[in-house]
Structure 1
Amino acid sequence: MANYNNQTIVIHELSGLDVKVIASRDKNQRGIKGRVLKETKNTLVLDTRNGERQIVKKTSTFKFFYGKKSFTVNGEEINFRPYERTEKAIKFYKRRKL
């Protein structure tokens, strides 16, 4: 099981986590809540009450929920292919406060 904290959230698997879009250039995506179904390099696909929604990572800010914990993540910090994120997001990992 992954140990999610404010640093590791940018390098761990996001699929299955609950998430809320707290900011976005696309005003229609602000406030969307759901569970991450899948992830591409540039988007998160969320399962919402109104069906699947595709959210652009780079232009959004997310709040991820893991148990009783929540973590705010700028989309640029996770704008990588999931299998590349561990290597490429390490610079963001180092900048984030624990």
Structure 2
Amino acid sequence: MISSQNVLSHELIGLDILVSGASNPHHRGLSGTIIDETKNLLAVETSHGVKRIPKMHSTFQVLLPSRELVEIDGSVMVLAPERRINLHEKKRIT
């Protein structure tokens, strides 16, 4: 089950997100649903279309299925999703 302790070892696509901080002022306050993830970007479906938000220099609030709100510094997510998931899973096992 996805929780605040293991959110980085799970798939983020489909979760609701708010950009709580960003170096680009136009990205701050954007909210929507994550529809894609690359090494450096999150694609978010907003009410104004799809926005691509750089992970680096951004802070996100993610709403988990349990309705728990988790804040994540985007710099810790700057990896390809499959590598991020495997990396955090290995840390959890050891």
TM-score (norm 1): 0.85
User: What does residue range 1-98 of structure 1 map to in structure 2 within 5 Å?
Assistant: 3-67=1-65, 68-89=67-88
How far apart are the structure 1 equivalents of 2:18 and 2:42?
Answer: 11
Q: Deviations over 1:49-68 (max 9, x none)?
A: 00000000011000000231
How far apart are the structure 2 equivalents of 1:89 and 1:30?
Answer: 27
TM-superposed deviation, 1:29: 0.2
How far apart are the structure 1 equivalents of 2:29 and 2:84?
Answer: 25
How far apart are the structure 2 equivalents of 1:64 and 1:78?
Answer: 13
Pairwise CA RMSD: 1.7
How far apart are the structure 2 equivalents of 1:77 and 1:88?
Answer: 11
Identity %: 30
Instruction: Judge conservation of contact 2:11–2:85 (CA < 8 Å) in 1.
Output: no
Structure 2: which 5+ runs fail to align?
Answer: none
**Matched letter for residue 63 of structure 2:** F
How far apart are the structure 2 equivalents of 1:25 and 1:35?
Answer: 20
How far apart are the structure 2 equivalents of 1:21 and 1:89?
Answer: 23
**Matched letter for residue 88 of structure 1:** L
How many residues get paired? 91
**Matched letter for residue 60 of structure 1:** S
